[in-house]
Every structure is written in structure tokens, then in C-alpha cells.
Amino acid sequence: MVPLVSGASFAFWMLMPVMILGALGTVLARKPVHSALSLAAVMLSLAVQYAAQQAPFLFAVQIIVYTGAILMLFLFVMMIVGVDTSESLVETIKGQRALAGLAALGFFVLLIFAVGNALVGQPTGLDQANSAYGGNVQGLAALVFGRYVLAFEGTSALLITAALGAMVLAHRERTRAKKTQAEMLGDRLRKYAETGAHPGALPPPGVYARHNAVDTPALLANGEIAETSVSSTLKQRGVVQDPSDLIAPTQATVRAIAPERADNPATAVAPYMPHRAAPARGVRPELGRDAEPNETNGVPDGPNPESTGTEGDQ
């Protein structure tokens, strides 16, 4: 009979090419973001390998600690340092290529010994390996906090050193004192005197009845467009809205209701403004045109603007 392939073997042969390509992408990718994504593929594939080998604790640790925490640390470091930073072609440390060659040689020697120990002799089953400690989690705890406690603590210190190194690389020495608010205001006024640039804040985008996004320019009091109310980037992209299309429905509504409101100046509107205009002199909006002049409605009576003299002069 033909022996059936186990789930662990199937997962190994299916994920092995993915892990190899991900490892090569981590080393050979030009952009740090692509390297981080390739490393994530390797870590996720390794987690599936742990699950196929009946090691649920290592599977969870691989997902939570390595893929979730350490990979995020790498991404944070890239965000702090910057993904657009170019590598220097000048060696700042003398003999670093020789040291890198020795480190690579030592790694390959360790890899050869590890593969040799795995191929020579009979493999130990999972049940037999866990029987000495009473379970997979207990055995892992005994190895991590017992036999390999120094290596575990050294790895922790290495990760902390990497985080501190990222902070040192991202730190920039300030060559000049930070400007105060008074100094920045003086620079704005000086620039206004020299070039005519407005020293105040730029006007906000236009707010209309049917549209209030940042691509709509504001209107000045004379009806002209405020050019500085829209970002120059949006202008270059050609996505700025035309205010005439936005105010056309409101103007049509105003023209439609203007004849009905023309008899009441207190509620009349200007032809170019959708809101109520100021009431006419001598007319109280609360009472209307038919109100008596001596009636009180909570608004103090003022002098008659049409009167130009006193009773004695008349």
C-alpha cells in the first residue's frame, strides 16, 4: 500500500517555498517595508509549522509575540527612522566587512551542526520529549527559564538595545534655539512688509448648503473667490469645485420666494444672500409693519432717525 502523507509533511512541503522566498525577500528587498512584509510571511508560515507539529503553545507565541509584537517594533523603527533614508556607501566602522564575514561563517557552521544532529540518529517523538516534564508547556518553561535562561535574557537585552538604537538614530541635535511665538509673529510681519504675504491664518474652505468639503473655495464679501482658501495641491490636481455650481440652487430658491417676501422688508433677503437681511429702520421684526410705534415688545425704543431737530426748532 502507498503510505499517506501526514498533515505535518504536507504543511512543510507547501510552506517551505514560501518561507524561503520570504527570507530572501527580507534580505534582498530594496525597501524596508517590503522586507518587513516578507519577514511577516516567514513568521506566519513558521507559526503554521508549529501548529502542524502539535505545538499549540509555540503557535500562539509565534503569532502574538513575534508576528504581533516584534514585527510591529520593526515597523515602528522604520517609521521613526524613515523609509526614504538612503544607505551610506562609506564604511563608518573599520573592518565591518571582515566581521560580517566571520559572523556569516559562524552561522553556517551552527547551521551545519543543527542539520547534522537532525539527520543523524532516530528522531525523538513529541510524546517522548514531553514525558520528562509532564507536558509541552511545562517542558518549554523548563528549557526557557532553566537551561537557556541566559540566551533568553540576552535576546531580551538585544531587543531593548535595538529599540534604544532606533531612538538614538532618530534623535536630531538642534543647532539653533527654537523660535518663540513673538519671534514667529515678527517674521510674519516682516514677510508681510517685504512680500505682502498675509500674516494671519488662511481663510477656511467654503461652506455651502449642499457641500462643505475642502475642495470648495470660499467667497469674499464682493462675491469673488478667495484663492488661498483651497490648498495648492488640490489646484494642481484640478479637483477644485466651481462655487457657481454650488450657489446656483440657493440663488434659484431665493429668486422663487423673493416676490412673496417683497411686501415685508423685515424678512426680505438680498438677491445674492440666502439669509435674512437686516430689517428696515423703524420696523420691528417681531411685530411687523402694522405694529403701533408705541407698543413695547422687549426692544427699547430709540430716537427717530428721520427727526433732524427738536420740537423747539420746528
Most confident of 9-23, 66-80, 190-204: 9-23
Question: What residues contact 54, with CB distance under 8 A and at least 6 apart?
Answer: 126
Residue ranges in 3-148 assigned as alpha helix (H) = 7-28, 32-52, 56-61, 71-81, 96-119, 126-131, 136-142
283 or 205, which is more confident: 205
Whole-number Å distance between alpha carbons of 110 and 114: 6
Name the nearest CA neighbour of 286 among 269, 306, 264: 264
Question: What residues contact 39, with CB distance under 8 A and at least 6 apart?
Answer: 22, 26, 71, 74
Question: What residues contact 275, with CB distance under 8 A and at least 6 apart?
Answer: 269
pLDDT in tens, 214-273: 888 887 777 677 878 888 888 888 888 887 777 777 778 778 877 776 666 555 545 544
Query: pTM of the entire structure?
Result: 0.40
Whole-number Å distance between alpha carbons of 37 and 235: 35
- Cell reading at 87: 544607505
pLDDT in tens, 122-149: 666 667 777 777 777 888 888 888 888 9
